[in-house]
Chains A and B, each alone.
Chain A
Amino acid sequence: MTDSDNTQSRQIDEMPETPVEHPFRQFVTMYMRNYAAVAGLLVFVVIVAAALLAPVILNVDPFEMVDVPLLPPGESGHLFGTDNLGRDMLVSIIYGARVTMAVGGAAAAITLIIGLSIGAMAGYYRGWVDEVLMRITEFFQVLPPLLLAMVLVALFSPTLETVAIAIGVVSWTGVARLARAEFMRLRELDFVKAARSIGGRDRRIIWLVILPNALPPLIVNAALTVGIAILFEAALSFLGLSDPNVMSWGKLIGDNRDYLLDAPWTVTIPGVAIFLTVLAMSLIGDGLNDAFNPKLRER
């Protein structure tokens, strides 16, 4: 054995043996360790499954009046009771999940795409690019979001697409600021310099070198954004500014708000559905944050 071999074998002994696991498995293991996040994920899966399978398992029209109006939950075989027009609440909730999840997800995706692009550019390039993009961001920040969304929906036709786009357009500023802050911090780090020193181009450095490191806060934010978008959609349909031809949770609350004292379930059941969904999204965001951070895996 030569001298250099000796120093190497000595170093093996000094280093703790770390079992090498597939990164995805590590990710799953870390996520599963957070019980609240697992619970959130379960709720999320149930809601998504209900939304996807609604036409298959129920195959009824949620707008059909099936019984006497305002039946309390459990009566005449209606698990969640009926609403002011005698429509089955359970069916409405399940069909409403479709709209809620679709609009929430689409709006969050739009928010993330706009916010991330603008924030990444501003934080990476700095200088005049940053100045211009941040002034635009500030312009959107000072407009009252609900009002702007209402104007947008009112201007264009109140379809689900318009609602999702309107919500995205009014809520991307937070993501942009967060992404900008992360990019400003990360661009100064040595591994970004190193990526440049091996000949990486800006596009590669932004999306492949910096972005994965900026993801944890953005993913938590994205999960929360889905929750906020769901609330937003509920607010808009409560105000009647959504597609009147589809059933949604906000619309249920809006339609039944006059009967809040006489038939509280007509409002509280969709309210609880919204609450559970938003809560599940934040728990998921939290769990993803833990799982994405490789340093936490060692603990």
Chain B
Amino acid sequence: MAERLLSVEGLRVEFKTRDGIAKVIDNLSISLDTGETLGIVGESGCGKSMTALSIMGLVPIPPGRIAGGRILLDGEDLLQANEQRMREVRGNEISMIFQEPMTSLNPVYSIGNQIAETARLHEGLSRADAMARALEMLQAVGIPAAEKRIHEYPHQMSGGMRQRVMIAMALACKPRVLIADEPTTALDVTVQAQIFDLLNDLKEKTGTAIIMITHDMGAIAEMAQRVVVMYAGRIIEQAGVTQILTDPRHPYTQGLIRCVPHLTRNPTVERPPLLEIPGVVPALSQLGSGCAFAPRCPYADAKCRAEMPPSRAVDSGHDVACWLTEREAAA
């Protein structure tokens, strides 16, 4: 098997809370190839963003703690790397864009300066060269009149434009992995589509692999080739995007897909109620020995509540961690 660009193996992250140790990420393994987009889906608090921060080496320690596992970038374990090496990695090899474009740009610097900063930090470019790079990046992310807007400040731009600037900043050093943490959640639907197009476009041009973190199944359908579904810090289902969307096996994945509202051409007075998954993600410090989803699962039985289901392949490249599939296989 060819060397993976990025692979996370058995990652475990714990947080110390007042109620005890919370296993924020439990035995997580994902991998990513060049030019691939991996979607990570799940509700708030299921460990998606913490996965991103772990890869960036930005988990707040304390109260956080990396309890185990490896994060391999081209075979180099980032968890063993020192802070200086991590600073070289961040922004240069792995970059990140954040959910809130309104707050993720520094209000006191012009956008050109902020993009140039990445290039200056990592490539030691002169001021003029870095600004030239910034201009190039602004043009690449489709900012109109870039040579004029480069001197503008974040507050002079709309949300979509700011997210483009964020993307330009993240890609300024042509990183090999881009982590997008809910990059479109705060944006209008039409702008969302533009950002997706832009990311796909840039991925094709530069070969940057993307980890797309979202709770929006629509975004997954638009962007990802492979999908990881997370619940309470664990991967519960992992498959290609078509398999996930057409044949979801885990009750939680099925629930997530049913939650997406559908457009009807002729809305009648009588509209079917939107389905939801009852309950909320449990407190991570209070997980029992059973499946974390069992309290909310319509199919849960005694075994589900007592024992954690192992992950098993139900199809090629389709893994599910659910006793239900075990039962089906046995039947």
- Specify which of B56, B98, B152 is in contact with A18 (CB 8 Å cutoff): B152
User: Which residues of chain B are within 8 angstroms of A193 by Cβ–Cβ distance?
Assistant: 58, 98, 104
Cβ contact within 8 Å between A194 and B87: no
Number of B residues with CB within 8 Å of any CB on chain A: 44
For chain A, residues 192 to 225, give those with C-beta under 8 angstroms from any C-beta of chain B: 193-201, 209, 212-213
Q: Which of A9-17, A31-39, A156-164 contacts B (4 or more CB under 8 A)?
A: A9-17
| Any B CB within 8 A of the CB of A1 | no
| Any B CB within 8 A of the CB of A262 | no
Cβ contact within 8 Å between B90 and A12: no
Cβ contact within 8 Å between A198 and B90: yes
For chain B, residues 76 to 126, give those with C-beta under 8 angstroms from any C-beta of chain A: 86-92, 95-96, 98-100, 103-110, 117-118, 121-122
Cβ contact within 8 Å between B197 and A213: no
| Any B CB within 8 A of the CB of A264 | no
User: Which residues of chain B are within 8 angstroms of A191 by Cβ–Cβ distance?
Assistant: 103-107
Cβ contact within 8 Å between B103 and A199: no
| Any A CB within 8 A of the CB of B27 | no
Q: Interface readout for B15-28 with A: 1 if CB under 8 Å, 0 if not?
A: 00000000000000
Cβ contact within 8 Å between B144 and A11: yes
| Any B CB within 8 A of the CB of A295 | yes
- Specify which of A15, A189, A197 is in contact with B158 (CB 8 Å cutoff): A15
User: Which residues of chain B are within 8 angstroms of A9 by Cβ–Cβ distance?
Assistant: 144
A18 to chain B, nearest CB (A): 5
| Any A CB within 8 A of the CB of B148 | yes
How far does the alpha carbon of A213 sit from the alpha carbon of B154 in the complex, in Å?
13
Cβ contact within 8 Å between B158 and A294: no
Give the dominant DSSP class at A's interface. Answer: helix
Cβ contact within 8 Å between B142 and A4: yes
| Any B CB within 8 A of the CB of A7 | yes
Cβ contact within 8 Å between B87 and A201: yes
| Any A CB within 8 A of the CB of B217 | no
Cβ contact within 8 Å between A12 and B108: no
User: Which residues of chain B are within 8 angstroms of A245 by Cβ–Cβ distance?
Assistant: none
7 further A-B contacts with Cβ under 8 Å, apart from A191-B103, A294-B155, are A12-B145, A18-B152, A20-B151, A191-B104, A194-B169, A196-B90, A294-B153
Give the 3 A-B CB pairs with smallest separation, nearest first: A198-B91, A190-B104, A199-B90
Question: Which residues of A approach B to under 8 Å, CB–CB?
Answer: 4, 7-9, 11-12, 14-15, 18, 20, 23, 127, 189-191, 193-201, 209, 212-213, 294-295, 298
Question: Which residues of B approach A to under 8 Å, CB–CB?
Answer: 56, 58, 62, 86-92, 95-96, 98-100, 103-110, 117-118, 121-122, 142, 144-145, 148, 151-153, 155-156, 158, 160-161, 166, 169-170, 194, 197
Can you report 8 A-B residue pairs in the complex whose CB atoms are below 8 A from each other?
A127-B62, A190-B99, A193-B104, A197-B56, A198-B118, A198-B169, A213-B107, A295-B155
